[in-house]
């Protein structure tokens, strides 16, 4: 058992060491951490807690472990900075998952995301119509970066002298999914006001005869039917 004074000394020393490590390694917000960063952080935290609470794990052993982990991280960072090939191996590259309003299904699956995940991330960025997206990338930290098509970008300050800003009221049915992965969402279909026959007709007008080919179909804020097919390529 640790007595009170020994526990206080161990805690203060480890907290000081962790503060020094944080200053050396730099700071990132939790949303910027990659999975590897997160795991290393857990390991360093576990080493610190073990030193504080376990008498079998001496202060010297703990400090050696913390220094070793810090040196390892610094080496990884230096290698990543110096060698592009190593950077690609250590850190995942941004992956394009949408191009010109089309979802790149194969790339989406590489990051273990499904269509609902993508639609949620788009809505978080205020995008309720996937057709407004020029390019969407999943960053190494899992965040979604989106470039809208030019016509959907908000006007810059210099544009206000030339154009009068207009607003289009968003439909209450915006982003209501009607088809997901080839299956009709009955609630979404009912709320859309479309019958199955009308939905089939609209799909046929877009050249889609098999509903199983549809990754997602949904209503846009303008009331239009947005459809994305399976196996879209970025060149299509």
Q: What is the mean pLDDT of each run of 10 residues along the chain (236 residues)?
A: 69 81 64 66 81 74 82 80 70 83 89 90 91 89 87 67 46 69 87 87 91 88 83 54
Query: How far, in Å, CA of 62 to CA of 172, rounded?
Result: 58
Domain-located, residue 78: yes
Domain-located, residue 236: no
User: How many structural domains are present in the chain?
Assistant: 2
Domain-located, residue 106: yes
pLDDT at 133: 92
Domain-located, residue 149: yes
User: Quick one: tokens of 20?
Assistant: 């020094």
Do 116 and 124 form a contact (C-beta atoms < 8 A)?
no
Query: How far, in Å, CA of 15 to CA of 170, rounded?
Result: 51
User: Which residue, of 89, 120, 151, is where some domain finishes?
Assistant: 89
Whether residues 114 and 209 share a domain: the answer is yes
Whether residues 99 and 78 share a domain: the answer is no
Domain-located, residue 22: yes
Domain-located, residue 235: no
Alpha-carbon distances of 89 from 46, 84, 85, 197, 223, rounded to whole Å: 27, 9, 6, 50, 44
Whether residues 46 and 65 share a domain: the answer is yes
Whether residues 221 and 188 share a domain: the answer is yes
Whether residues 56 and 172 share a domain: the answer is no
User: Which residue, of 89, 109, 126, is where some domain finishes?
Assistant: 89
Per DSSP, helices labelled H in the chain are 4-25, 35-53, 59-82, 84-90, 105-110, 115-124, 186-192, 196-205
pLDDT at 137: 92
User: Quick one: tokens of 13?
Assistant: 């020393």
Burial of 212 (0-12, 13-18, 19+ CB in 10 A): exposed
Residue whose tokens read 């207009």: 166
pLDDT at 93: 74
User: Quick one: tokens of 119?
Assistant: 């639609």
3-state secondary structure of 201: helix
Whether residues 123 and 220 share a domain: the answer is yes
Query: How far, in Å, CA of 14 to CA of 21, rounded?
Result: 10
Whether residues 217 and 109 share a domain: the answer is yes
Whether residues 104 and 211 share a domain: the answer is yes
Whether residues 157 and 84 share a domain: the answer is no
* pTM of the full structure: 0.56
Domain-located, residue 15: yes
User: Which residues, other chains included, contact 222 with Cβ-Cβ below 8 Å and sequence gap of 6+?
Assistant: 129, 168, 171
pLDDT at 203: 92
User: Which residue, of 89, 118, 135, is where some domain finishes?
Assistant: 89
Whether residues 213 and 115 share a domain: the answer is yes
Whether residues 84 and 124 share a domain: the answer is no
Domain-located, residue 51: yes
Query: How far, in Å, CA of 127 to CA of 141, rounded?
Result: 21
Quick one: residue 46, left, alpha or beta (phi over 0 = left, psi -120 to 50 = alpha)?
A: alpha
Per the structure, the complete domain to which residue 59 belongs is given by 4-89
**What CATH number should be reported for the domain holding residue 218?**
3.30.240.20
- The residue length of the chain stands at 236
Whether residues 69 and 131 share a domain: the answer is no
pLDDT at 16: 83
């Amino acid at each position: 058992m640790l007595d009170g004074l020994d526990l206080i000394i161990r805690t203060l020393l480890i907290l000081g060491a962790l503060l020094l490590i944080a200053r050396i390694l730099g700071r990132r917000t939790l949303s910027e951490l990659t999975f590897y960063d997160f795991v290393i952080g857990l390991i360093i935290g576990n080493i610190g807690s073990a030193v504080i609470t376990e008498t079998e794990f001496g202060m010297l052993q703990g400090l050696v472990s913390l220094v070793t982990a810090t040196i390892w991280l610094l080496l990884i960072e230096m290698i990543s900075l110096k060698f592009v090939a190593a950077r690609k191996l250590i850190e995942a590259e941004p992956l394009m998952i949408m191009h010109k309003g089309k979802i790149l299904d194969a790339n989406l699956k590489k990051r273990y995301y499904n269509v609902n995940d993508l639609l949620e991330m788009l809505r978080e960025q205020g995008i309720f119509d996937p057709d407004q997206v020029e390019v969407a990338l999943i960053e190494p930290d899992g965040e979604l970066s989106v470039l809208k098509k030019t016509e959907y970008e908000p006007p810059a300050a210099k544009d206000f002298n030339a154009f009068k800003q207009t607003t289009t009221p968003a439909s209450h049915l915006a982003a209501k999914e009607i088809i997901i992965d080839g299956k009709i969402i009955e609630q979404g279909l009912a709320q859309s006001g479309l019958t199955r026959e009308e939905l089939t007709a609209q799909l046929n007008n877009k050249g889609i005869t098999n509903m199983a080919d549809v990754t997602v179909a949904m209503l846009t804020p303008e009331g239009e039917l947005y459809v994305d097919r399976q196996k879209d390529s970025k060149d299509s």
